[in-house]
Amino acid sequence: MSEPNQEEPRPLIRTMPTATAFPVEALGKILGKAATAIQDLTQSPLAMCACSVLAAAALVAQTHRNVTLPTGQVRPLSLFIMTLADSGERKSTVDAYALTPIKEKESSLRKLYEADQFIYGTKLDAYEAQKASILKTKKGNKTKDDYERALLELGLPPDGPLIPMLTISEPTSQGMMKLLQHGQPSVGLFSAEGGLFLGGHAMREEERLQTGTTLALAWDGEPLQRVRVSDGNIILNGKRLSLHLMVQQEIAASFINDPVLSAQGLLARILITTPESTVGTRMWKEPSAGSVQAIEDYSKALTDILAIPLPLAGGTRNELSLTSLTLEDEARRQWIVFVDEMEKSIGRGCCNDIIRSFIAKAGEHAARIAGVISFIENPASTTIDVKALNGGIAIMRHFIQEALRLNAFGLTPPDIKNGQLLLSWLEQSWKEPLFSPVDVYQLGPNKIRTKKHAEAAINILKDHGYILRLNGNHLIKGQIRKECYHLYNITPPEAEVAKAANIAIGNSNFSNISEGCVL
């Protein structure tokens, strides 16, 4: 039973402050209205809807523009975003609305690919036949130079059609390189089930650093290189990659807290938001006509841009050659003020020191976001005005506040969550004063109904002082249990101990056993 001076349990989970509201109006007319419309249609968290349209817009914009920072550095408009949301938040539905114009473009590319694949096969057969004919020709008076001349005249084999994929969900770093080599020059790593990627081959311990480095280089817009004995050396220029993973918090925890990815720099390149859940509040309502129109306007804007021919480097099929957006004078001044503010906030002991590497890139993040907003609003524009730049800064401030929340309060590891789940069950559903591990994995919450998970959850509660183990055997729901516990604030009834003794020994010989007896 409890000791008289038993300490109060240590909290399992620190209460995280409420998420800051996403400044949806900062997204501009097209993207802002689309995000609000998707929220109206799905009743999902507004930040999730906003991130989905922003990521989709980045995929479209990165194909046509870079941004030149006031420092003179030329950067892609690529964005890496991660939205943390649990099951039931309608992530797939939100993503489907945001990605509709991109998926429709993919569909049209696939149709062209099928037709081009037949033509390619025919040309390749003709090429191989001609090459074989040259090599099989009897020497006669032909010299080595004659063969070389004939093969040079034949030339290289025909190129196959480009792989018609604009989005991928769970690539390896090698697969991503091959896709960018033989496919479209601008793609998005998008998934409403981001756990497929975070838990897949690319993020295994032995692959994680390579994958992280490849992603970081893609975000930077640097040439992607790979050296392999099997398929030679690959250097890919003019490629663009944006990312949006929607993933449950407990799945993302190990990724976000990974010290290697933090030191390597990938995490500083990712914009993370953890919106408040709307589950349980989504009562039926008819969507407004304005929401339907806003989705149509958004889809048309992205579809029109997707129809613009790709700006390719001369003599290439899939290497982008992009013009760059520049900041107008007032936008440039506002950007410098913001960057100076961020720099002051990351000095030793300052408020943002815990997310120093992320804050150090705040100016670049804001400029990229502003560039995406500006390009979607006006694809012909070559500059970013102060309104778009202030929008990018406002959105970046949201992501900074979210980063501070996550770093100060952290994501709850799965084992702690299971401990909290067991504690809630014991307090609200379990009616007996005592319990055993058998009771937990037979009758407890579904998520911990295995011996392994039940024992792990029990150990968490024991380590945090929420439960105490009793010595000896005890009677629980008519069954004698060897390993028994009770909540720290409940005194176990002594009568149950006596009943356990009577049943175990046989009532006839020991009917007068003391009620305090423990076997």
How many Å apart are CA 253 and CA 412, to the nearest integer?
A: 7
Mean pLDDT of 494-502: 50
pLDDT at 504: 46
C-alpha distances out from residue 478 to 30, 130, 172, 475, 499, Å:
66, 86, 54, 6, 9
User: Is 408's pLDDT higher than 80?
Assistant: no
Of the pLDDT bands very low, low, confident and very high (cuts 50, 70, 90), residue 410 is low
Class of domain 414-505: mainly alpha
Give the domain ranges of the chain: 24-111+162-409, 414-505
**421 neighbors 447 (Cβ within 8 angstroms):** yes
Angle made by CA atoms 446, 454, 428, in degrees to the nearest 5: 60
Alpha helices in 429-493 (DSSP H): 437-443, 451-463
DSSP 18: P
Q: Which helix (H) or strand (E) holds 298?
A: helix 289-306
pLDDT at 399: 98
SS3 readout for 79-103: CEEEEECCCCCCHHHHHHHHHHHHH
Q: Rounded to an integer, what is the distance from CA 113 to the centroid of its chain? A: 30
- Look at 143 and 256; give whichever has higher pLDDT: 256
- Give Dmax (Cα) for the chain: 118
How many Å apart are CA 63 and CA 108, to the nearest integer?
A: 17
Angle made by CA atoms 61, 66, 72, in degrees to the nearest 5: 155
pLDDT at 497: 52
Parallel, antiparallel, or unpaired for β 74-76 and 65-68?
antiparallel
pLDDT at 369: 99
Highest mean pLDDT (candidates 222-231, 251-260, 325-334, 413-422): 325-334
pLDDT at 490: 74
pLDDT at 353: 66
DSSP string over 177-221: HHHHHHB-SEEEEEESSTHHHHTSGGGSHHHHHHHHHHHHHHHHT
The mean pLDDT of the chain is 90
309-324, pLDDT tens digit by residue? Answer: 999 999 999 999 999 9
User: Is 518's pLDDT higher than 50?
Assistant: no
pLDDT at 133: 86
How many Å apart are CA 326 and CA 238, to the nearest integer?
A: 19
146-169, pLDDT tens digit by residue? Answer: 888 888 988 889 999 999 999 999
pLDDT at 414: 76
**89 neighbors 39 (Cβ within 8 angstroms):** no
**457 neighbors 418 (Cβ within 8 angstroms):** yes
Fold category of 24-111+162-409 in CATH:
Rossmann fold (3.40.50)
User: Is 57's pLDDT higher than 70?
Assistant: yes
pLDDT at 506: 46
Of the pLDDT bands very low, low, confident and very high (cuts 50, 70, 90), residue 513 is very low
pLDDT at 269: 98
- Total-model pTM: 0.80
173-188, pLDDT tens digit by residue? Answer: 999 999 999 999 999 9
Of the pLDDT bands very low, low, confident and very high (cuts 50, 70, 90), residue 17 is confident
Q: Is 310 helix (H, G, I), strand (E, B) or coil?
A: coil
